[in-house]
Amino acid sequence: MNAAPTLTLADIRAAHTRIADKIHRTPILTSATLDALCGGQLFFKCENFQKIGAFKARGAANAVFSLTDAEAARGVATHSSGNHAAALARAARLRGIPAHIVMPSNAPKAKVESVRRNGGIIIFCEPTLAAREAACAEVIAETGARLVHPYNDYAVMAGQGTATLELLEQAPNLDLIIAPVGGGGLLSGTAVAAKGAKPGIRVIAAEPAAADDAARSFAAGHIIPLDKTTTIADGLPTSLGERNFPLIQQHVDGIVTVSEESIVAAMRRIWEVLKIIIEPSCAVPYAAIMEKKIDVTGQRVGLILTGGNVDLDALPWMAK
């Protein structure tokens, strides 16, 4: 009998080999100023410098290039209003296959243009999850395209975990890794990579208190779907995937929540001190340190800066 599908360190290492020439090996930044403020040593993995400006390029590339020629022949499809949409369009363009991207009618113009630039075929729908899923199912039925889910997909998770493999090589002897959590694709890949490559390391997730379904699910021992919510961290309000959650339960040491005010303050401090552009979702792990939700005193801590796609005309500290 074959074992049930799951995600392993070997899968993540194979993914890294598969996508090495299709992604950036993003740098690590450090800051004596930020270290002094928290009492630990912080190592920021800058996925805001990744292709399409976010870690999503890793998972999409691995999913697309894991397909056989027969599986890929009719293209790929997904529903996404964010970075996964552009990442999948780009990966499909590199493979020379079509990408059908269902996007809500209110998707940010910058995200829509990014999908178009990468050759994605956009299908607009009403801005509800039910409408997105229905439209995506219709596209797949019509085209025979292969679904590449933004996070509830083992190949996507394996690709996302490659950022942690690099982080552990670039910043050895870490005590702790902190990652944000939305649907759980990045977190499950991060945790499996970290615990597999360095047993004893801790992995903690952070999420907005305004979208705290992962923390509540983790505490309850079962998935609690996310109610409708509003958070500035627009990449994170997503319910956990059923493939992601068991991996999170097995490998993650805790999930903390942070306020909207802390997210904005963390985002601004990173802009000011590290001199880099990050998006609000990306600031959530550092916000957990600022709020002292995670004690990093004397620790070597890796933080995954997930992306840098922001509307520069509507930054959160600008006057309304």
d(CA 20, CA 200): 27
Task: Note whether 9-54+153-305 and 75-144 share their fold.
Answer: yes
Question: Which tens digit of pLDDT belongs to each residue from 224-260?
Answer: 998 877 888 888 888 899 999 999 999 999 999 999 9
Which are the contacts of 146, defined by CB distance < 8 A and separation ≥ 6? 67, 71, 72, 74, 75, 76, 77, 140
pLDDT band per the 50, 70, 90 thresholds, residue 268: very high
CATH architecture, domain defined by 9-54+153-305: 3-Layer(aba) Sandwich (3.40)
Question: Which tens digit of pLDDT belongs to each residue from 101-116?
Answer: 999 888 877 788 889 9
- Topology (CATH) of 75-144: Rossmann fold (3.40.50)
End-to-end CA gap in the chain: 60
pLDDT band per the 50, 70, 90 thresholds, residue 97: very high
**Domain boundaries along the sequence of the chain:** 9-54+153-305, 75-144
CB contact at 8 A, 85 and 96: no
